[in-house]
Amino acid sequence: MDKDLILLGHGSGGKLSHQLLEQLIIPTLSGTPLAGQNDAALLEHERGRLAFTTDSYVVDPVFFPGGNIGDLAINGTVNDLAMVGAQPLAISVGLILEEGFSRAELAEILAAMRRAADRAGVTIATGDTKVVPRGKADRIFINTSGIGLVPAGLQLGGANARVGDKILINGTIGDHGIAVMSRREGLELETEIHSDCAALNGLTADLLAAEVELIHVLRDPTRGGIATTLKEIALQSRVSITLDEATLPLKAPVRGVCTLLGLDPLYVANEGKVLVVVAATAAERVLERLRRHPLGSDAAIIGEVTADGNGRVEMETMVGGLRAVEMLSGEQLPRIC
Amino acid sequence: MDYADEFRNREIVRGLAARIARLAASLEKPLTFMEVCGTHTMSIYQYGLRSLLPPEVKLISGPGCPVCVTPVGYVDRAVAYARRPGTILATFGDMLRVPGSFSSLMEERARGADVRIVYSTLDAVALAAKHPDRQVVFLGVGFETTAPTIAGSILTAARQDLKNYFVVAAHKTIPVPMQVLSSDPDLGIDGYLCPAHVSTVIGGDAYRFLAEEHGVPCVVTGFEPADILQGLAMLVAQKVECRSTVEIQYRRFVTREGNRQAQKLLAEVFTPTDSAWRGIGVIPESGLAIAEKYAAFDAEKTLPVTVEEPQEATGCLCGEVLKGKAAPCDCPLFGTACTPEEPVGACMVSSEGSCAAAYKYGE
């Protein structure tokens, strides 16, 4: 393999992305307060801790069932802040437009951004716009950065999962990836699948207000799906995780498309989902609380932290067999966010 | 009934596993069955089915991953077409990451080649219609399941009078290699889980010579977990009863005679040819070449490219894995030098490859 080439898989959120980060990006840029292994960096400040994060959005197609690149760009960054327990304060927006892009479509995207920001209770505080010649970008790319305030005493992080903890999710998996994929490939489905794109800061604030001591990890399983995110948690926390496939919330049409295209829903992206790792004593209470929330009606307990260990993730399959779960390798679906 | 959940029902699967264990208890020696098709291999790993089988029943994976059995030289040819000016290379996604001697299609795409993933052969024909000034070269890889759709694309292109649609044909047919493998004493195959989708086209009778002349029990089996365990139970029953016939477990789609329409398409567009299988070698009459009548669509005849002598990766056990003689973890490169990120052999690339399945889902 030609080591010099950047491949699409390097942007997939899976193993190749990790390699690029660990071998090149983090070592070269270290010394700056990088988010490293969590969704947002935490900056100590005399008046409290600030969370800081950034993300770029290159989804193709720009408009998909259930959203567009605009609300995705706001919600994605809001969610990265929410996952470290921060309440978002302000967001910046960088637009890169391709010459010839439609002004009406841009207006629609901006309106979606504004609506998403209002819903999440965050201000769009600053921004920048560049236009590049036709063919030098694909219609529109958006970068958003966000800062948020972390309440004192809060300790959330991928390394905090403990033996005995339960793993919960607030709803069905794979909706976003399959919504984008089916639009991009022009799949004609009887039931249209909508992206789950949503801001989760209200839901996470709700959970943390009630169970701040017992919630150990919050993570949004975006690119790479729940498999990759759970593997990351298992590795960071040095524990083993066992999933129960029969409990995984999955919409029938999403499962259908996955079967058709040979995709594993465990690896398909979500944009409105959170994995909650919580002490067993609080698991049922958190489940109830999730289910009462509009973004959590399909919530379920999907697994548990079974042992200290080397980061192994296993799944009891729906027929009772046992198999390993690894990170996404290469690209499953490129440019879904 | 949604025709999926029923075949993944835990109680039904448990019941079938118990039936296999009961039948196997009366056996004098352990049995080795080969699942021929890559989709079976994947399903067995994905559902953790080996963990449900008694120790007397061993499953080995066969050569039924189309990408895996495609020789390195074919990938080199594909790379050469990708580099050819004016060419759009259209392919099913699996071929993208398969390493050739010096490069892969993914690398060529990163260097600027126009490589497009399609989900249907007709999408490739549509590309040709949309880009009359370019040559669309489609990689025709696969077994009897895919081959009729390629035949259909060639007939469609002919009907539309397209002069810029070409196929690099490397289709393979499955029954003859099964006979080659079952006559290998090292393997000691006691029966076959015959492929599901291939059999919808060729029909159960295509395996009769194996069961009747070579004494190898054959059960055409579906891909869901309950299908696979039921197919295995039927194979064990044949052994216990000292029978050797072709049975069809996948009755909801497969008939004895198969899909006549698809067979007609194959006969119209292709002619049988000797074909090179990675790991096994050249097997007579085990491939499909584009018939003379449709030579205008045959990339190798109408758009020649120069390809250097292929170089197989050293140390890679893909060939042995494809014959079922080695398990993925027997290969010294497995999981170290050869991973899905940096594959050495095709078995680690394809979504139907044994090594990819073993790596992703664990042993």
For A75-130, give the DSSP string.
Answer: HHHHHHHHTTTPEEEEEEEEEEEETT--HHHHHHHHHHHHHHHHHHT-EEEEEEEE
**Alpha carbon distance B91, A159 (integer Å):** 42
pLDDT value of residue A31 = 60
B15 lies in the same domain as B43: yes
Say which residue, B157 or B352, is predicted with more confidence: B157
Q: A165 pLDDT exceeds 70?
A: yes
Q: What is the mean pLDDT of chain A?
A: 91
Q: Which of A15, A255, A262 sits opposite B351 (nearest CB)?
A: A262
The residue-averaged pLDDT of B63-87 equals 94
Q: Where in chain A is the domain with CATH 3.90.650.10?
A: 166-324
Number of H helices, E strands in chain A: 9, 14
Nearest CA in chain B to A7: B110
B137 lies in the same domain as B85: yes
Q: Which of A158, A171, A160, A169 minimizes the C-alpha distance to A214?
A: A160
Which amino acid would we find at residue A118?
D
pLDDT, one tens digit per residue, over B109-130 is 999 999 999 988 999 999 999 9
**Alpha carbon distance B326, B317 (integer Å):** 8
- Mutation target vs A (from B67, B341, B344, B350; most A CBs, 10 A cutoff): B341
Question: In this structure, is residue B231 part of a structural domain?
Answer: yes
Which amino acid would we find at residue A275?
L
Residues A229-241, buried b or exposed e (16+ Cβ, 10 A)?
bbbbbbbbbebbb
* CATH, residue B198: 3.40.50.11750
Q: Do A321 and B48 count as a contact with CB atoms less than 8 A apart?
A: yes
For B102, how many CA atoms within 13 A lie in the half-sphere containing its CB? 8
Q: For chain B, how many structural domains are there in total?
A: 3
pLDDT value of residue A337 = 64
pLDDT value of residue A91 = 97
Length of chain B equals 363
Question: In this structure, is residue B235 part of a structural domain?
Answer: yes
pLDDT value of residue A199 = 98
Residues of A with Cβ-Cβ distance to B342 under 8 angstroms = 1
Q: Where in chain A is the domain with CATH 3.30.1330.10?
A: 33-150
- Mutation target vs B (from A17, A319, A325; most B CBs, 10 A cutoff): A319
**Alpha carbon distance B354, B363 (integer Å):** 11
pLDDT, one tens digit per residue, over A271-293 is 999 999 999 999 999 999 999 99
Q: Which of A16, A261, A318 sits opposite B341 (nearest CB)?
A: A16
Query: What is the nearest CA distance from A89 to chain B, expressed in angstroms?
Result: 39
Q: B343 pLDDT exceeds 90?
A: no
Q: A142 pLDDT exceeds 50?
A: yes
Range of the domain at B98: 72-174+258-302
Q: Which of B4, B10, B340 sits opposite A319 (nearest CB)?
A: B10
Question: With an 8 Å Cβ cutoff, is A191 touching chain B?
Answer: no
Number of CB pairs < 8 Å for A and B? 88
The residue-averaged pLDDT of B191-197 equals 96
B164 lies in the same domain as B279: yes
Residues of B with Cβ-Cβ distance to A6 under 8 angstroms = 110
Q: Which of A255, A224, A235, A252 minimizes the C-alpha distance to A337?
A: A224
Q: What is the mean pLDDT of chain B?
A: 93
Nearest CA in chain B to A312: B362
Question: In this structure, is residue B11 part of a structural domain?
Answer: yes
Q: What ipTM was estimated for this complex?
A: 0.76
Question: With an 8 Å Cβ cutoff, is B50 touching chain A?
Answer: yes
The dihedral built from the CA positions of residue B195, B197, B200 and B202, taken in this order, carries a sign that is negative
B95 lies in the same domain as B154: yes
pLDDT value of residue A289 = 97
Q: Which of B110, B225, B340 sits opposite A6 (nearest CB)?
A: B110
> Which of B248, B275, B292 is a domain's end point?
B248
Q: Do B52 and A19 count as a contact with CB atoms less than 8 A apart?
A: no
B135 lies in the same domain as B164: yes
Query: What is the nearest CA distance from B271 to chain A, expressed in angstroms?
Result: 30
Say which residue, A314 or B97, is predicted with more confidence: A314
* CATH, residue B155: 3.40.50.11740
Q: A2 pLDDT exceeds 80?
A: no
B209 lies in the same domain as B128: no
| Tokens coding B282 | 């050249």
Residues B1-17, buried b or exposed e (16+ Cβ, 10 A)?
eeeeeebbebebbeebb
Q: Do A6 and B361 count as a contact with CB atoms less than 8 A apart?
A: no
Which DSSP state fits A7? Answer: -
Nearest CA in chain A to B104: A1
Say which residue, B132 or B332, is predicted with more confidence: B132
Banded model confidence at residue A32, pLDDT cuts 50, 70, 90: low
B155 lies in the same domain as B265: yes
Helices B38-46 and B354-361, axial angle in degrees (round to 10)? 10
Contact B237, B119 (CB under 8 A): no
pLDDT value of residue A327 = 86
B192 lies in the same domain as B293: no
| Tokens coding A45 | 């400040």
Banded model confidence at residue B363, pLDDT cuts 50, 70, 90: low
**Alpha carbon distance B3, B202 (integer Å):** 23
Which DSSP state fits B266? Answer: H
Question: In this structure, is residue B253 part of a structural domain?
Answer: no
Residues of A with Cβ-Cβ distance to B10 under 8 angstroms = 246, 318-320
pLDDT, one tens digit per residue, over A181-225 is 888 877 777 778 999 999 999 999 999 999 999 999 999 999 889
- Mutation target vs B (from A247, A323, A326, A331; most B CBs, 10 A cutoff): A323
3-state DSSP of A216-245: EEEECCCCCHHHHHHHHHHHHHCEEEEEEH
Is A33-150 a domain of CATH 3.40.50.150?
Answer: no
The residue-averaged pLDDT of B241-266 equals 97
Residues of B with Cβ-Cβ distance to A178 under 8 angstroms = none
Q: Give the predicted TM-score (pTM) of the model.
A: 0.85
**Alpha carbon distance B239, B247 (integer Å):** 13
Q: Do A318 and B2 count as a contact with CB atoms less than 8 A apart?
A: no
**Alpha carbon distance A306, A214 (integer Å):** 17
Q: Do A318 and B361 count as a contact with CB atoms less than 8 A apart?
A: no
Residues of B with Cβ-Cβ distance to A19 under 8 angstroms = 341
Q: Do A7 and B104 count as a contact with CB atoms less than 8 A apart?
A: no
Q: Do B111 and A320 count as a contact with CB atoms less than 8 A apart?
A: no
B116 DSSP β-pair partners? B90
CATH code assigned to A166-324? 3.90.650.10
Question: With an 8 Å Cβ cutoff, is A260 touching chain B?
Answer: no
B122 lies in the same domain as B228: no
Banded model confidence at residue A35, pLDDT cuts 50, 70, 90: very low
Q: B202 pLDDT exceeds 70?
A: yes
Number of H helices, E strands in chain B: 14, 11
B96 lies in the same domain as B135: yes
Q: Chain B neighbours among A 314-333 (CB < 8 Å)? A: 314-326, 329-330
Collapsed DSSP state (helix, strand, coil) of residue A13 = coil
- Mutation target vs B (from A317, A318, A328; most B CBs, 10 A cutoff): A317
Residues of A with Cβ-Cβ distance to B47 under 8 angstroms = 317-319, 321, 323
Residues of B with Cβ-Cβ distance to A329 under 8 angstroms = 339-341, 360
B149 lies in the same domain as B85: yes
Question: In this structure, is residue B279 part of a structural domain?
Answer: yes
Task: Work out the percent of chain B whose per-residue pLDDT is above 90.
Answer: 73
Q: Do A259 and B47 count as a contact with CB atoms less than 8 A apart?
A: no
The residue-averaged pLDDT of B39-61 equals 93
Query: What is the nearest CA distance from A274 to chain B, expressed in angstroms?
Result: 24
Q: B106 pLDDT exceeds 70?
A: yes
Contact B124, B92 (CB under 8 A): no
Residues of A with Cβ-Cβ distance to B117 under 8 angstroms = none
Question: In this structure, is residue B310 part of a structural domain?
Answer: no
Least confident of A26-30, A112-116, B215-219, B231-235: A26-30
**Alpha carbon distance B77, B62 (integer Å):** 25
